[in-house]
Chains A and B, each alone.
Chain A
């Protein structure tokens, strides 16, 4: 069993990293997690497991990470502050480390009103930045919040999210700087479709020297159809899909739109590799994980380093 974070190893060795997202099932079946893991194995360095994404109840991220770990993958535990207070969060962080999970992505989480339990209480005892600093303190100082000592601190590579496409734009880099100051070591961004804006954000990142302090992985979600492009652009908050991209998808017959979506994704990866400070990609092919190996291959990112 791998004892250190593969993601950290790949990034510190200077390789261009590849991570992918894996959504656990809406049920207790381990098979679907294992199946997705096997699909991704060999094509990616690490696999993010979402934590009840969009507020929908699913098999827990911690258990799915443990299943992937057994399959020989390097899981990234996504942890949101929406559902658990600081007692439960810190307890799960210790549990994750004990199970051999070596990466964590700290998030506040989608608001509960978007999911299938809209009557639930949103906990938000901590916010994402406070969660980052909590993990950092637990790991580096072997202390929980309040200063009590741990018998052993967790061994985790600490990640955070950044959305260059949300507003106010000038503040987005300040927020990422705060995450770095709190202890984030890698960043996975929101899906990139608007490359111009992403490049502008990256230049702000470089102006602050942040690209030397944190590994930035550009987020990508391949478009399945012109309809999906339109929906995501107009209905999903924090998403920015330029008109010309929607037009490009619409410009091909429906049967070939998947192919076009993959082409756009591969082109975006090539563009990202040219940007100073981008250290990898994070593929979020939602319920379309089988397409990941193809994208990674077409982007010329195989084989993955050992």
Chain B
């Protein structure tokens, strides 16, 4: 899923300051799972903003709504008719959600309340880990299902570097060295032959080299 964190309240207050009527829009998908932009977080943020407005004697009228998905037109359409009653939208969607809403309603400013972070997994309650960089060329089968791009600080394909000690990454000692996991994983699976391979340079044009990426599938059109 896509993970995100809510921006600091002060930053959001500064961002909404030109507006008196605000529609706060959450998203019930990824950002709800990582507890940053779901219905509950929309409610908490709405209360905090209204309380701040009262304390600073500013005028602020809000309404809260959470879409099932902020990045898909069928769900965004629920805002039609409603959005015109507000001066701006404060979106608790990821970066894709904010842009998708903005494209449908170009006259209304859509303000991001979240900082979108990474593709990751929920490891345990309150802990999310990045484990995919969307490189467009998945080779997890060669690395004992540990991604060297997102989980190694130097994105080494032929790691580990000389800083791997005691199974820890020298850059982030609190996390395991990804290459230590690759090596021990392949050892467990009896695939040490894969460690001898010299992997050639990656083709980053599938990742960020080409800029804006698209998927076009005629069978879905």
Residues of chain A at the chain B interface (Cβ within 8 Å): 82, 86, 108-109, 111, 113-114, 122, 124-130, 133-134, 145, 161-163, 165-168, 171, 174-175, 177-178, 181-182, 190, 237-238
Contact = CB atoms under 8 A, between A and B. Distances in A.
Contacts of A165: 165
A124 B154 contact: yes
B175 interface: no
A178 B154 contact: no
Contact of B201 (A114, A145, A237): A145
Given A168-B180, A238-B163, A238-B164, A108 B196 contact: no
Given A113-B171, A124-B154, A127-B154, A166 B195 contact: no
Interface string B147-181: 00000011111111111111100110000010010
B186 to A, nearest CB: 10
Contact of A129 (B180, B195, B198, B204): B198
A165 B154 CA distance: 19
A166 B164 contact: yes
Contacts of A167: 160, 164-167, 177, 180
Nearest to B197: A178
Contact of A122 (B154, B165, B200): B154
Interface in B110-168: 153-167
A145 B154 CA distance: 21
Contact of B156 (A127, A145, A190): A127
Contacts of A111: 153-154, 163, 170-171
B158 A238 contact: no
A237 B163 contact: yes
Chain B contact residues: over half helix, strand or loop, or mixed?
loop
B158 A166 contact: no
B17 interface: no
B164 A82 contact: no
A133 B202 CA distance: 13
A133 B157 CA distance: 13
B42 interface: no
Q: Which of B161, B171, B200, B202 has the most CB of A within 10 A?
A: B161
Contacts of A127: 154-159
B159 to A, nearest CB: 7
A21 to B, nearest CB: 15
B137 to A, nearest CB: 14
A124 B171 CA distance: 15
Nearest to A146: B201
A166 B164 CA distance: 6
A171 B183 contact: yes
Contacts of B200: 130, 133
A168 B161 contact: no
B184 interface: yes
A109 B161 CA distance: 9
Nearest to B167: A167
A100 B112 CA distance: 54
Measured as residues with beta carbon below 8 angstroms from the partner, the interface class of chain B is 20 to 34
A168 B201 contact: no
Contacts of A82: 154
Nearest to A239: B165
A237 B170 contact: yes
A108 B154 contact: yes
Contact of A237 (B165, B183, B197, B199): B165
B201 A126 contact: yes
A125 B200 CA distance: 11
Contacts of B163: 111, 166, 237-238
A166 B165 CA distance: 5
Contacts of B155: 124, 127
A108 B161 CA distance: 8
B165 to A, nearest CB: 5
Q: Which of B159, B198, B200, B204 has the most CB of A within 10 A?
A: B198
Given A127-B159, A238-B164, A168 B184 contact: yes
A86 to B, nearest CB: 7
A125 B154 contact: no
Interface in B1-39: none
A163 B171 CA distance: 17
Contacts of A134: 201
A91 to B, nearest CB: 16
Nearest to A183: B198
A158 to B, nearest CB: 14
A162 to B, nearest CB: 8
Given A108-B156, A125-B201, A174-B196, A190 B162 contact: yes
Contacts of A129: 157-158, 198-199
Nearest to B177: A167
A174 B165 contact: no
Nearest to B192: A174
Contact of B198 (A86, A122, A124, A133): A133
